[in-house]
Structure 1
Amino acid sequence: MDSTLSLFPLGWQHYLLGGLFIGAGVALLYLFTGLVGGMSTVFSSTWSFVVQRPFFQQARFTESRGWRLVYAAGLVLGALVWWLAFSDGTPLSTGVPVWMLLLGGFFVGYGARLGNGCTSGHGICGLGSLQWPSLLAVLTFMATAFITANLVAWGLA
């Protein structure tokens, strides 16, 4: 069996094209506005609408939440357009139990807060602007992902 078929059963081309679109979008956002489009800050700035705790009421969240909501809506709408244009209309699903998805989401959120950013912020924006802390963050993300994927593949997790 072809190794790319086992790693990417639906093909790899759409991942490449999606990555190019994301990279171009982030680059254009920075080029035309000077703004960095990391998603963990979008999440935190959105919470600033409803949570009055001092962390969420920082100026960096409250003053940028308008454009960040538009940015997030563009990502969601882009995914919807992609799905409508290139899928057969069948929703994708996973065999992963809901509790595992929630637990994984908690760990991802905790890691993003601990690492002062998420994979999109560090991996796309930070590496693109040659920031040393982002390189360290991405290496940590990737090492953790490799270890976790192998533990799951071996049935140890």
Structure 2
Amino acid sequence: MNNLIEFIQQPWPWYVAGTIIAIVMFALLYFGNSFGLSANFRNMCSMLGGGRSCDFFDFDWRKQTWNLLFLAGTVIGGFIAHQYLMPDATIAISEATVADLQALGIANPGEGIVPQDLFSFESLFSLKGLIMFVVGGFLVGFGTRYAGGCTSGHAISGLSDLQPASLVAVIGFFIGGLVMTHLLLPHLLSL
């Protein structure tokens, strides 16, 4: 039993995880479904009666029950993995990355899953926290709706379905990530 737990605690090789993703995607395509976590927000709004006041939410959400179950499994699986399968919360990042993050003002990078300087209840009430959480959350939500899906929907489902719009969206995600990391984040962290 200890050997099994030790095996589960190790990162899986890319070829195992990639094969599992491919099998899931082929099954979804075969059954005429597409994958994307942001679609669950629409499902939940429809479930709660949003279709009475907005045509966008007026659809049969029961056909997307599998996606809601996938979301629930993601949350439950993440909780189980964090609580019971992580040997410790230290994240293995390179010394160069630690030095870069410390130069940006992040104390103890890699000590936990996320930097406590940025992701804590106290940081929410600072200017930096307000910008990163509220403005960032709005931009993520707006961008997801404007792009017609999230990164998982476009990068995994859309690209495997050979959708040109997903290729454009994924290129935009990468460009946006690079701009954020190299141009905007250093200024935000200095606030």
Fold match by TM threshold 0.5: yes
Aligned to 2:69: 70
Aligned to 1:105: 137
Instruction: Kindly indicate whether the alpha-carbon contact (under 8 Å) linking 1:41 and 1:117 is maintained by their aligned counterparts in 2.
Output: yes
State yes or no: 1:30 paired with 2:31: no
**Bigger shift: 29-38 or 44-53?**
29-38
User: When the two structures are superposed, what TM-score results if normalisation uses the length of structure 2?
Assistant: 0.62
Aligned to 1:57: 57
Against the structure 1 CA distance between its residues 141 and 19, is the aligned structure 2 distance closer, same or farther, given a 3 Å change threshold?
farther
Q: What code does the residue aligned with 1:119 have? A: T
3-state DSSP of counterpart to 1:34: coil
Distance 2:164 2:172 in 1: 13
Higher Cα Rg: structure 1 or 2? Answer: 2
User: When the two structures are superposed, what TM-score results if normalisation uses the length of structure 1?
Assistant: 0.73
Unaligned stretches of 5+ residues in structure 2: 1-10, 91-111, 125-129
Q: CA RMSD in A?
A: 3.0
Instruction: Kindly indicate whether the alpha-carbon contact (under 8 Å) linking 2:89 and 2:113 is maintained by their aligned counterparts in 1.
Output: no
Against the structure 1 CA distance between its residues 73 and 15, is the aligned structure 2 distance closer, same or farther, given a 3 Å change threshold?
farther
Instruction: Kindly indicate whether the alpha-carbon contact (under 8 Å) linking 1:29 and 1:36 is maintained by their aligned counterparts in 2.
Output: no
Report the CA distance between 1:37 and its aligned residue.
1.5
Report the CA distance between 1:141 and its aligned residue.
1.2
Alignment coverage as a number of residue pairs: 144
3-state DSSP of counterpart to 1:92: coil
State yes or no: 1:92 paired with 2:88: no
Q: Quick one: which of 161, 166, 182 aligns to 1:134?
A: 166
Instruction: Kindly indicate whether the alpha-carbon contact (under 8 Å) linking 1:38 and 1:122 is maintained by their aligned counterparts in 2.
Output: yes
3-state DSSP of counterpart to 1:63: helix
Unaligned stretches of 5+ residues in structure 1: 1-12
Distance 1:129 1:101 in 2: 33
Against the structure 1 CA distance between its residues 71 and 140, is the aligned structure 2 distance closer, same or farther, given a 3 Å change threshold?
same
Against the structure 1 CA distance between its residues 87 and 66, is the aligned structure 2 distance closer, same or farther, given a 3 Å change threshold?
same
Query: % of aligned pairs identical?
Result: 31
Report the CA distance between 1:117 and its aligned residue.
0.8
